[in-house]
Amino acid sequence: MSNDQAKERVFRALDDFAIAIPSWGFANTGTRFGKFVQAAAATNIEEKFADAAEVHRLTGVTPTMALHVLWDLPNGVADAPKIRALEAKTGIRAGSINPNLFQEAEYKYGSICNPSAEVREKATAHLLTSVEIGKALGSAEVSLWLSDGSNYPGSQSIRRRIGWMKEALAKTHAALAPGQTLLVEYKPFEPAFYHTDIADWGMALEIARSAGPQAKVLVDTGHHYQGTNIEQIVAWLIELDALGSFHFNDRKYADDDLTLGSIDPYQIFRIFHEILFEKSKGGVFNAPTFMIDQSHNLKGKVEAMVQTVVTAQELYAKAALVDHAALAELQDSCSLVDAEEAFRGVFWQDVRPWLAEWREARGLPAHPLAALREGGYVERITEERKEKNTAGASSYA
């Protein structure tokens, strides 16, 4: 492939790349030992939209922001007009709608898997509200993560909980509008420490299939055990037309919310390769959507988000450089070293100058992080929000 062809491929891939950002990435969060308040953190939904608009202004590839129902729409569908107004004001659209079935006291023993029919009903009603919010906002995805599980062997019936979960999700699926997708996210542990009701991709796939054809699996890159081959899971989900979306982040130990690619950028490259390989075949492919799921409590929030978006673009651009036809020949002839060299060779290629060129060609700042610093946005919001954030300082103890 000539240099011009390679650049052309990178540009085409970047034109096709968008990634949603999470509203909770701008708010104060912490660890289970304490909350680390930042002076510039967003304290309300208006500020979250403003921060998202700044990230989009700098990168041009984050037109949507995922919303978490209880955090962003505490009054349910009644809050939809307010979100609509913010969309109009900032140019950022509502992304996936994330039901929240994990923070209320009733959910101590589970939400849709709770042995209490009353609690299951409350949780199901919340899922239905989330679907309605999606319809009111024209948002295509309802993105479900369940914290349900148990901590002590024998203390809950794993089998009966599967049945309850399927019942609730069948009802949720029945309420979806034709263009809506129900995303089912999995996570092996935390907050539950013995069993989690949807612990891996197999369980998520079965739950999605039993819910109905508009349900798909969401892969959060931080939700795997050490050493899991995530790109293989991705390849299988593509094969089964069951890959709905991603939550991108990185992890060293568990669900650490680290910056995408900060620990293992090669893994994200390999995941993007599976997606781009399928796209290159030119057939019907319900390509997954991309989202960042990170909430930083040490890094500045807007800064961390811009850094992540840029990293995602870099890794996507590198994966776009894989020459699929040439690689297939090397694979078929079992030229192992040459195949591996072709694959990892492009991973090591520095695509950053092309990214800068691509941005300039589209009227965007060549270096978004530098532009953020020069623009003074963070200083301004620090000034505007610092009092509110000091007043809201809290610990979990």
Smallest separation, CB 78 to ligand PSV (Å): 22
Smallest separation, CB 198 to ligand PSV (Å): 11
Smallest separation, CB 8 to Mn ion (Å): 34
Residues in the chain, total: 397
The residue among 67 and 276 lying less far from ligand PSV, judged by its C-beta, is 67
Q: What is the three-class DSSP state of 31?
A: strand
Nearest Cα neighbor of 61 from 258, 292, 247 is 292
Q: Which of the ranges 118-126, 216-224, 356-364, 368-376 carries the binding residues for Mn ion, by CB under 5 A?
A: 216-224
Rg from Cα positions in the chain: 21
DSSP structure class, residue 202:
H
How far is Cα 252 from Cα 261, in angstroms, rounded to an integer?
11
Smallest separation, CB 384 to ligand PSV (Å): 25
The residue among 141 and 293 lying less far from ligand PSV, judged by its C-beta, is 293
Taking CB within 5 to 8 Å according to partner kind, which of Mn ion, ligand PSV, none is near residue 98?
Answer: ligand PSV
DSSP characters for 65-78? Answer: EEEEHHHH-TTGGG
Q: Which of 9, 57, 216, 247 binds ligand PSV (CB under 6 A)?
A: 247
How far is Cα 19 from Cα 258, in angstroms, rounded to an integer?
17
**Burial state string for 290-327 with b = 16 or more CB within 10 A and e = fewer than 16:** bbbbbbbbeebbbbbbbbbbbbbbbbbbbbbbbbeeeb
How far is Cα 175 from Cα 41, in angstroms, rounded to an integer?
35
Q: Which of 220, 231, 250, 278 binds ligand PSV (CB under 6 A)?
A: 220
x/- site string to Mn ion, residues 270 to 299, per CB under 5 A? Answer: -----------------------x------
Please provide residue 173's backbone torsions phi and psi, each rounded to the nearest 5 degrees.
-60, -40
Q: Does 250 bind Mn ion (CB under 5 A)?
A: no
* Number of residues binding to ligand PSV, judged by CB under 6 A: 10
**Contact positions with ligand PSV (CB under 6 A) in 32-91:** none
Q: Which of 114, 293, 305, 351 binds ligand PSV (CB under 6 A)?
A: 293
Smallest separation, CB 144 to ligand PSV (Å): 9
Taking CB within 5 to 8 Å according to partner kind, which of Mn ion, ligand PSV, none is near residue 248?
Answer: none
Residues 6+ apart with CB under 8 A from 4: none
Residues in contact with ligand PSV by CB under 6 A are 24, 98, 145, 185, 187, 220, 247, 255, 293, 295
